[in-house]
Amino acid sequence: MLLIELLFIAIAVAVAVKYVRLPYTIALVITGIVAGPLLQLPDLPVDPHLWLLLFLPPLLFEGTINMDLEFLRRYARPVGLLALGGTLIQVVLLSAAFATLLGMPIAIAGLLAVMLSPTDPVAVLALFKENGVAKGLQTIVEGESVFNDGVAVVLYLLVLQVIGGEGVTLLEASLEFVKVVAGGAVVGGVLGYLCHRLYSKIDDHLVEVGLSLVLAYGSYLIAERFHFSGVIAVVLAGLIVGNYGRVLSMSPSTRLSLGHFWEVAAFMINGLLFLLIGLTVEFGRELGRAGEIVMVFGVMLLARAIAVYGLLTLYRVLAGARLSTSWIHAINWSGLRGSIPVALALVIPAAVPQVGRLQTITLGAVFLSLLVQGLTIEPLLRRLGLVERSKEQDEFERSTGISIAAGAALRQLDALHREGEISERLFENLRQHFEAIRSVGLGRVASLTLDHETIRRLELNRASVRVFEAQRVALDRARRRGLLSEEVWRELAGDVDALIVGGEEEGWEQIWRDQQVQLDEADPSAPERTT
């Protein structure tokens, strides 16, 4: 029952943030804090493997199937430096700082450092996409997050072994780390490739989506069964399916279904985790350790800055890479802590010393990270000039909004007039007023689309999505009414799905070329336009 309540709250918050300028993840945490006294949160099982199995595979798989492998290859070196070198540097710096400042034993300080090292820029990436931030910057931030999650979870389990009394030297731990990561990569790569080949033999979107679910959890379980990293296995499997199986082996219908399924799964898991942050925050405990939490958060920011600026500056010097300082600033501040640290903190075995203190500090530091970094990243991006929204695009959206609003007013006026609720004279006056406003908005839109190729593409893409989706709905309705056989429906729906999935590169490009021809014919004196 509690699970249903939490999911309902997460959905309600998702609806509410559409009308409030507040990042979804932060809204969830605040809601959890408010709702905490009203909901009774039961004690969670203490087996970390069980909870990591439930939380991690869907979050990691959804992120990796949507990553562009070509961009990841292009930025592999900065991603690798940050995910591996950056995580290790932060763990070392944070462990030393926590042992010194908080008086913790080095193993306990190391556990806290490991839990706070993985980044989780869910809200940041949504903001990047909304504001047109460069794809390369998005790739670095997302790639670092995906891979440093794997590194952090491996370190987390190694530190738990040390705390549990298993004698492990630095050399043994290093060899174990390499073995676990490499083994996980092999398991994920092999299973991902096998599923990619299997997808080419299947043409049933339900079976194919179900197979992706089996792959996400199966790769994790098989890797863990051989004492390898399940997280790395899921990451590699997701990358292969997302970039090869999805493109080369799946039908357009399956691609749509797969994307929607995993988007919903990640939404639900993230919603539960960020709500749990708020639900598990107890103001009494947090206020009692407010000084420690603020100190930890400050040290956390400092350690990340040292790692990011140091490694990326070294990368620019040694590789001669053109990585702008603005990008480095954005990468540093985009390292929010979120769902993974929370998951790790919630499943610390009860036998670990100072478990309550560790959980309180972790949850408090994550909350501060979401609040401080999450609310300031957008102004920072704008100040750095990384938001790629042109004045023409703002004007296009403003004019579109004006025409939409005026059109809605005209439709309401017609309804009022038909029902006899307003006089003829008032109707005519208001109709002329809103028609004039709508005409101005539409005229400005027409001018912008005629003069600016990017705006013309933007308008075409938005309209095409709506039109193709309407076609899909109509075909589904016709099949349910028995107007189309299953075979004909599948053929026609597949054609429409290909247009929706393909974007500009497939279905819309011909429409784009046809529109340009019409524009050129209407204005022969205009200079030649290029696609």
Region 345-367 average pLDDT: 85
Does 507 have pLDDT greater than 50? no
Domains of the chain: 2-36+44-383 (1.20.1530.20), 391-522 (no CATH)
Please give the C-alpha separations between residue 55 and each of 50, 143, 254, 260, 346, in angstroms, as whole numbers.
9, 19, 24, 18, 11
C-alpha 431/C-alpha 419 separation (Å) is: 16
* CA neighbor of 276 nearest in space, from 357, 341, 334: 341
| C-alpha to C-alpha distance for 386 and 398, rounded to whole angstroms | 21
How far apart CA 362 and CA 346 sit, in angstroms, is 9
What is the rounded CA–CA span in Å between residue 402 and residue 417?
22
Total count of residues recorded for the chain: 531
Cα–chain-centroid distance for residue 57? 15
Q: Which of 77, 86, 189, 89 is nearest to 140 (CA)?
A: 77
Q: Which residues, 6 or more positions from 183, have their beta carbon under 8 angstroms from its beta carbon?
A: 223, 226, 227, 228, 229
Q: What is the DSSP letter of 248?
A: I
- The mean pLDDT of 194-203, rounded to a whole number, is 86
Q: Residue 511 pLDDT > 60, yes or no? A: no
Amino acid at the residue 388: E
Is 514 a residue whose pLDDT tops 80? no
Q: Which of 330-334, 372-376, 448-452 has the lowest mean pLDDT?
A: 448-452
Q: Specify the long-range contacts of residues 459-467, CB closer than 8 Å, at least 24 apart.
A: 459/396, 460/508, 460/511, 460/512, 460/515, 461/503, 461/504, 461/508, 464/499, 464/507, 464/508, 464/511, 465/500
Share of residues in the chain with pLDDT > 70 (%): 83
DSSP 8-state symbol, 485: -
Find out whether 363 and 295 touch, Cβ atoms under 8 Å.
no
The span from the CA of 376 to the CA of 123, in Å, is 12
pLDDT tens digits, residue range 208-250? 889 999 999 999 999 988 988 888 899 999 999 988 887 777 7
- CA–CA separation, 486 vs 480, rounded Å? 10
CA pair distance 266, 271, nearest whole angstrom: 8
Say how far apart CA 493 and CA 487 lie, in whole Å: 10
CB 256 within 8 A of CB 501: yes
Of 397, 403, 412, which Cα lies nearest the Cα of 438? 403
The residue assigned the tokens 């478990």 is: 355
Q: What is the DSSP letter of 504?
A: G
Q: What is the per-residue pLDDT across 96-130, written as a single tens digit (0 to 9) for each?
A: 999 999 999 999 999 999 999 988 866 577 777 76
Instruction: List pLDDT tens digits, range 66-87.
Output: 888 878 888 888 999 999 999 9
User: How many Å apart are CA 160 and CA 352, to the nearest integer?
Assistant: 8
Helices (H) and strands (E) in the chain, counts: 24, 0
Q: What tens digit of pLDDT does each residue of 380-392 get? A: 888 888 876 667 7
CB burial of residue 149 (10 Å; 0-12, 13-18, 19+):
buried
* pLDDT above 70: residue 88: yes
Share the mean pLDDT of the chain.
81
pLDDT at residue 46 is higher than 60? no
189: its two tokens: 């790569």
Cα-only R_g, the chain: 26
Contacts of 305 by beta carbon, 8 Å cutoff, 6+ apart: 332
Question: For 122, what's the count of Cα atoms within 13 Å in the CB-facing half-sphere?
Answer: 24
**Angle formed by the axes of helices 106-115 and 87-101, nearest 10°:** 130
Highest mean pLDDT among 13-17, 299-303, 515-519: 299-303
Confidence of residue 172 (pLDDT cuts 50, 70, 90): confident
pTM listed for this prediction: 0.72
